[in-house]
Amino acid sequence: MDIALRLNLSDIAWVFITTTLFKQLPMHIYILKRLLALIPTLLGITVLVFFMVHLVPGDPAQIMLGERASAESLAALRRDLGLDQPLHVQFGRYLSDLLQGDLGRSIKSHERVSVELMARFPATMELTFASMIFACILGIGAGVASAVRRGTWWDYIGMTASLAGVSVPIFWLGLLLILALAVSLPLFPVSGRLSSHVFIPTFTGFYLIDSLVAGDLPGFGDALWHLILPGITLGTVPAAVIARMTRSSLLEVLREDYVRTAWAKGLSERVVILRHALKNAFIPVLTVISLQFGYLLGGAVLTESIFAWPGVGRWLLLSVYARDFRAIQGGVLIVATTFVLINLIADLLYAWLDPRIKYGKE
Distance CA 146, CA 161 (A): 11
pLDDT per residue as tens digits for the range 24-71:
556 677 677 777 877 888 888 888 888 887 777 777 777 777 777 777
In this prediction the pTM is 0.80
Using the CB atoms, write b or e for 23-52: b if 16+ within 10 Å. Answer: eeeeeeebeeebeeeeeeeeeebbeebbee
Which of 92-106, 301-315, 341-355 is the least confident region? 341-355
Distance CA 57, CA 75 (A): 18
User: What's the whole-number mean pLDDT along residues 88-101?
Assistant: 82
**Does 255 or 124 have the greater pLDDT score?**
124
The domains found in the chain, sorted by start residue, are: 113-353 (1.10.3720.10)
Which of 66-80, 157-171, 289-303 is the least confident region? 66-80
Is the pLDDT score of 113 beyond 80?
yes
Residues β-bridged to residue 112: 105
pLDDT at 359 (0 to 100)? 56
Is the pLDDT score of 224 beyond 90?
yes
pLDDT at 7 (0 to 100)? 42
The secondary structure of residue 331, as a DSSP letter, is H
Which amino acid is located at 62 in the chain? Q
